[in-house]
């Protein structure tokens, strides 16, 4: 794969927000319940200690405005709750077993025709082949840096032996590299390919070597346009047992998107910063156009304007969702963002350029209930017996980016497949009991006790919304399946002991058994 210099700015806040809770302590009165999946399913069906969904809907009517203030001087936490309590207007809540949905040829064709009707795609892996000229330039740069190690005349990234190893690999690559690659010599048939077969048929292809190493028996499609219409289109999809399934599309007037085929499904469209009240984004704590830490300036490109209204942009995004048949999804979040460009030029340079977009985040609605598993990322990374296992399962979402050019980004991430209904009409805890659990655990989870070295350290928690939704949790002894269960999300913001504010889910409580969801563990 291409070697690129580090960008001057890191990855920004992503679409998928992790739980905001901090370190846990020991409550005076324990409200921590054992997490037992079998027991939870039993509680979902029994009447003792639980209520019907209909009963809880009636109970919640008295909490149209839930207000309270909690102060714990010992743990240095203040919690201010002034929240609406929202419960879905449905007849019942259920529990489902789910898995990852593979992306098929029919859906890929639907997406391609909806986004780029009639466009000819060429083999993206051929576009990624490096020529002798490109590799030669890198050899010269490595030789220059290696010389700097010997005479200590400048800063270097590697030791001399490491430079020698890199140079040896580059020289081998140089011998096999073509003088020129003509992309239009390699049109695709728009079909999903088996990675193993393509790898065997194309020995020495660095892209396919990389794909095979990561995804093995997975499947993929990777196509790029010729750019003659002034837009550089990329369309990529993968079905991977280890890294998840997705479709990614990008259109850019400044070059091909360099990150289209990165392995993790969780990282999509995370190179963004919100634009609030028309103000320019704040890069590295400094405004766009000002000098960033390394001396470069962040600048908005002038060939991708954003003059359309958010309403018009949403109509375009909604139309694509309808054209692709994704009718069971609703907008969860939207707004104007600055998206840093990650074309090949930008990845190989320290300059930071960005374009303005409207970003629309869609989440699934199951039986009319939002499935908010933004923090449902699941990963195993370690030895299992004699085998080393690294697998990821991202959070389901659809993200659409729009500017004056139209749809410039479409990401369909970790689609879910409903395998079976485990409990048709789930019983749940009363909101009074959930509220009591929240009021104790929100303090414990956000204690500032461990940062006594900070004078006046304290944590401020604000809760503005309380919602009953679905989320995905891990299932016992199974990586490939999960459970969709009802949870209460307490949403707002946390200002930690260092004064840093983070917005999102403050605490999430399982509505069936009253346990606190730990998104780092997945249940």
Report CA torsion sign: 246, 252, 256, 257.
negative
Residue 436 and residue 55 in contact, taking contact as beta carbons nearer than 8 Å = no
Residue 231 and residue 247 in contact, taking contact as beta carbons nearer than 8 Å = no
The pLDDT of residue 488: 96
Dist. CA 472–CA 366, nearest whole Å:
12
Dist. CA 519–CA 523, nearest whole Å:
6
Dist. CA 411–CA 398, nearest whole Å:
6
Assigned token pair, 61: 């009517």
Dist. CA 517–CA 440, nearest whole Å:
14
Dist. CA 115–CA 245, nearest whole Å:
19
User: In tens digits, what is the pLDDT along the chain, a chain of 523 residues?
Assistant: 333 333 332 322 333 333 344 433 333 444 445 567 888 888 898 887 788 999 999 999 888 789 999 998 888 899 999 999 999 999 999 999 999 999 999 999 999 999 999 999 999 887 767 778 878 888 888 888 877 766 655 555 667 788 888 888 888 888 877 777 777 888 999 999 999 999 999 887 888 988 999 999 999 999 999 999 999 999 999 999 999 999 999 999 998 887 777 777 764 556 788 888 777 776 654 445 555 555 556 788 999 999 999 999 999 999 999 999 999 999 999 999 999 887 766 665 666 889 999 999 999 999 899 998 876 677 777 766 677 767 888 889 999 999 999 999 999 999 999 999 999 999 999 999 999 999 999 999 888 765 556 667 889 999 999 999 999 998 877 888 999 999 999 999 999 888 888 888 899 999 999 999 887 666 7
C-alpha distances in Å from residue 56, one per residue of 81, 270, 424, 427, 485: 20, 38, 17, 10, 16
Report how far apart the first and last C-alpha atoms of the chain are (Å, whole number). 37
The pLDDT of residue 284: 59
Report CA torsion sign: 143, 145, 148, 149.
negative
Assigned token pair, 419: 């395998």
Assigned token pair, 439: 């009021």
The pLDDT of residue 477: 76
* Helices within 152-305 (DSSP H only): 160-176, 195-201, 206-215
The pLDDT of residue 374: 72
Residue 89 CA to its chain's centroid (Å): 29
Q: What is the pairing mode between strands 246-252 and 232-239?
A: antiparallel
Reported in sequence order, the residue ranges of 341-386 that DSSP labels E, i.e. its strands, are 352-366, 369-370, 378-384
The pLDDT of residue 283: 65
Report CA torsion sign: 95, 99, 104, 108.
positive
The pLDDT of residue 17: 37
Dist. CA 517–CA 507, nearest whole Å:
8
| CA within 13 Å, CB half, 158 | 14
Residue at token pair 């999102």: 504
pTM over 0.75: yes
Dist. CA 264–CA 261, nearest whole Å:
9
Assigned token pair, 279: 């103000």
The pLDDT of residue 449: 60
Residue 51 and residue 468 in contact, taking contact as beta carbons nearer than 8 Å = no
Among the listed residues 308, 482, 523, 459, the one whose alpha carbon sits nearest the alpha carbon of residue 393: 482
The pLDDT of residue 359: 95
Q: What are phi and psi of 509, to 5 degrees?
A: -125, 130
The pLDDT of residue 16: 36
C-alpha distances in Å from residue 497, one per residue of 22, 78, 397, 503: 11, 11, 32, 15
Residue 434 and residue 515 in contact, taking contact as beta carbons nearer than 8 Å = no
Helices (H) and strands (E) in the chain, counts: 11, 23
Q: Is 434 helix (H, G, I), strand (E, B) or coil?
A: helix
């Amino acid at each position: 794969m291409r070697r690129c210099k580090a960008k001057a700015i890191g990855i920004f806040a992503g679409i998928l927000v992790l739980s905001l809770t901090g370190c846990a302590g020991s409550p005076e009165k324990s409200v921590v319940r054992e997490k037992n999946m079998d027991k939870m399913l039993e509680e979902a069906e029994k009447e003792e200690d639980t209520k019907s969904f209909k009963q809880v809907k009636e109970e919640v009517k008295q909490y149209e405005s839930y207000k309270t203030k909690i102060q714990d001087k010992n743990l240095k936490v203040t919690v201010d709750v002034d929240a609406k309590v929202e419960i879905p207007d449905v007849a019942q809540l259920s529990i489902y077993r789910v898995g990852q949905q593979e992306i098929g040829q029919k859906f890929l064709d639907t997406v391609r025709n909806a986004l780029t009707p009639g466009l000819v795609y060429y083999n993206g892996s051929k576009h990624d082949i490096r020529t002798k000229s490109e590799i030669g330039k890198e050899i010269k740069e490595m030789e220059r840096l290696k010389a700097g190690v010997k005479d200590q005349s400048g800063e270097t990234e590697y030791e001399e032996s490491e430079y020698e190893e890199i140079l040896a690999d580059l020289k081998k690559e140089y011998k096999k590299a073509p003088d020129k690659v003509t992309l239009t010599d390699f049109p695709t048939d728009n079909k999903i390919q088996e990675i193993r077969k393509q790898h065997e048929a194309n020995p020495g292809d660095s892209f396919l070597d990389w794909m095979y190493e990561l995804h093995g028996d997975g499947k993929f499609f990777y196509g790029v346009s010729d750019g003659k219409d002034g837009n550089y289109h990329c369309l990529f999809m993968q079905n991977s047992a280890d890294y998840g399934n997705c479709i990614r599309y990008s259109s850019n007037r400044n070059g091909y998107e360099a990150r289209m085929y990165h392995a993790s499904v969780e990282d999509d469209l995370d190179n963004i910063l919100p634009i609030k009240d028309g103000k320019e984004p704040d890069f590295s704590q400094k405004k766009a156009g000002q000098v960033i830490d390394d001396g470069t300036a962040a600048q908005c490109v002038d060939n991708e304007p954003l003059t359309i209204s958010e309403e018009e942009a949403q109509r375009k995004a909604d139309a694509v969702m309808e054209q692709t048949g994704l009718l069971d999804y609703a907008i969860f979040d939207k707004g104007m963002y600055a998206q840093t460009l990650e074309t090949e030029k930008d990845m190989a340079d320290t300059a930071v350029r960005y374009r303005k977009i409207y970003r629309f985040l869609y989440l699934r609605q199951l039986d009319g209930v939002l499935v908010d598993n933004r923090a449902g990322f699941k990963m195993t990374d370690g030895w299992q017996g004699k085998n080393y296992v690294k697998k990821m399962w991202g959070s389901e979402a659809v993200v659409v980016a729009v500017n004056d050019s139209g749809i410039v980004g479409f990401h369909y991430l970790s689609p879910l497949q409903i395998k079976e209904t485990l409990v048709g009409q789930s019983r749940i805890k009363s909101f009074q009991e959930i509220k009591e659990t929240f009021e104790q655990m929100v303090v414990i989870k956000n204690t500032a006790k461990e940062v006594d070295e900070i004078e006046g350290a304290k944590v401020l928690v604000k809760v503005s919304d309380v919602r009953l939704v679905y989320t995905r949790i891990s299932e016992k002894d199974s990586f490939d399946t999960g459970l969709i269960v009802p949870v209460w999300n307490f949403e707002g913001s946390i200002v930690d002991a260092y004064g840093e504010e983070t917005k999102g889910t403050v605490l999430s409580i399982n509505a069936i058994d009253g346990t606190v969801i730990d998104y780092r563990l997945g249940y």
